[in-house]
Structure 1
Amino acid sequence: MTLTGKPRGEYAKTASRKREILEAGIEVFSTSGFRSGSIREIADKVGMSQAGLLHHFTNKNELLAGVLELRDNRSRAFIDFDAPLGVESLRGYLGLIEYNSSVRGLVELHCVLSAEATSPAHPAHDYFVERYRYVVESITNVFRRIDDAGLLADGVVPENAARALIALTDGLQVQWLLDSSSLDMVDEARRHLQPLLLVEL
């Protein structure tokens, strides 16, 4: 028995229920956005009352934070930004793009919320500002390690390459959401990256 007296099975059940709510949150926020997506709609998807949902997440902003954390945890499983060989980090980036091709809801979530969050009043504004800062810095360091290894093409500036890759990826996601049959995101990203490198990606 735990210190609170609750059996382990109850904790597992609570964790499982929270995961169900977060999955439903991804679905609702990715299609309706944060402002239009409602707690009631999310609660209905998991077959519980609003009061029951608010037992797990005290408000909509806390639920949004949980949804974004879940998305980030999934992404981090694909990329080691600190890998000694920067090329391996880029290969992981391509692996993440391939994974995203199989989870439309997560791609929609990113596109919808990142657009909404350009407003400073949006609860995810600071999150996205910090997220882009972190991603630009991390990918810049990846290109710097590639450069240090003598594997970056002449004239490629690491920070510029990082920002261009992020912009390309975001733009490809929007095009893919509009018509998934019109392009292969992994192939397009690889075609962009390969000329920047002196080694096969």
Structure 2
Amino acid sequence: MTAARPRSEERREAILRAAFEVIAERGYRGASLAAVAERAGLTQQGLLHHFPGKEALLVAVLEERDRWDTGGGGASGRSGWRLDLLATLVEYNAMRPGMVQTFSALLGESVTDSHPARAFFVRRYTAVRADMAELLRTEFGERLPCGLTPERAAPLLTAVLDGLQYQWLLDPESVDMAAAFRDFMVLVGWEEVK
């Protein structure tokens, strides 16, 4: 039984890698289960053995993306974020529109009570707000330059990060996410104008 578990984990990792590739190439809507299964060397039925549907697969991809983006910790259970690394993450996200599109599409759909990704996003945002508060506390102490506590500023910081993604997806020629995030940091006094 112990030999089957690692093989199953390896297969799951291969499916996630294939899903990342297909999403990067075809975007959220074009990332069909059949395309991911083919890329992973499985039948669609074989893929469904590991993930019961497209939403479950996409949520697993987003969870894995969070782990990769944060050096293995995922949302929550990690600290070590730095303000300058957030700007780098925004720049990195601009290089992977398929992943940003998948995140944004699932996030938008998850606001309905019965959506399978809802619990993931509720957990994720709770953890991200806590992580951002910790980051802000580490950078500024109990009060930010604007006077807010880290807990009050964390949802605002999170909203800016995700809101920029939506604007960029809709009009990438007009919205430079990385530049806009740096401008936000200047606006709230977290960075000097360069």
| TM-score interval, normalised by the smaller of the two chains | 0.7 to 0.9
* Residue type at the aligned position of 2:117: A
Is there any run of 5+ residues in structure 1 with no aligned partner, and where? none
Q: Which residue is 1:182 aligned to?
A: 174
Residue identity (%): 30
Instruction: Give the match for residue 172 of structure 1.
Output: 164
Instruction: Report which stretch shifted further, 134-143 or 41-50.
Output: 41-50
Deviation at 1:162, TM superposition (A): 1.7
Question: RMSD of the TM alignment (CA)?
Answer: 3.6
2:92 — aligned with what? 99
Residue of structure 2 in register with 1:49 after alignment: 43
Counterpart selection for 1:161 from 148, 153, 174? 153
- The alignment status of 1:76 with 2:76, answered yes or no, reads no
Amino acid at match of 1:158: P
Q: Secondary structure at the match of 1:141?
A: helix
Of stretches 137-146 and 167-176 in structure 1, the one that deviates more from structure 2 is 137-146
Q: What are the Cα deviations for residues 21-74 of structure 1, in whole angstroms up to 9, with x where unaligned?
A: 3325645995229xxx7533533555642123234x141254234212221122
* 1:1-201 pair list within 5 angstroms: 4=3, 14=11, 17-23=14-20, 26=23, 31-32=28-29, 38-44=32-38, 46=40, 48-55=42-49, 57-60=50-53, 62-77=56-71, 82-83=79-80, 89-148=82-141, 152-197=144-189, 200=192
Q: Secondary structure at the match of 2:131?
A: helix
| 1:54/1:21 CA distance change after superposition, 3 Å | farther
CA distance in 1, matches of 2:170, 2:58: 24
Letter in 2 for 1:43: A
Q: Secondary structure at the match of 1:128?
A: helix
Q: Amino acid of the residue matched to residue 39 of structure 1?
A: L
Q: Between Structure 1 and Structure 2, how many residues are aligned?
A: 189
> CA contact under 8 A between 1:116 and 1:122: conserved in structure 2?
yes
Task: Give the structure with higher Rg (CA).
Answer: 1
TM-score (ref. length: structure 1): 0.74
- Note the C-alpha offset of 1:5: 9.0
CA pair 93-135 structure 1, distance change in 2 beyond 3 A:
same
Deviations 1:128-150 (A, max 9, x none): 00111111111122222333288
The answer (yes or no) to whether the contact 2:16–2:60 under 8 Å persists in 1 is no
Quick check: 1:30–1:108 contact (8 Å CA) kept in 2?
Answer: yes
**Uncovered stretches (5+) of structure 2, i.e. residues with no partner:** none
Separation in 1 of the partners of 2:22 and 2:62?
10
Q: In the TM superposition, what is the alpha-carbon distance from 1:157 to its structure 2 partner?
A: 3.4
Secondary structure, aligned partner of 1:92: helix
Aligned-residue offset at 1:169: 1.6
Alpha-carbon contact 2:15-2:40 (below 8 Å) kept = no
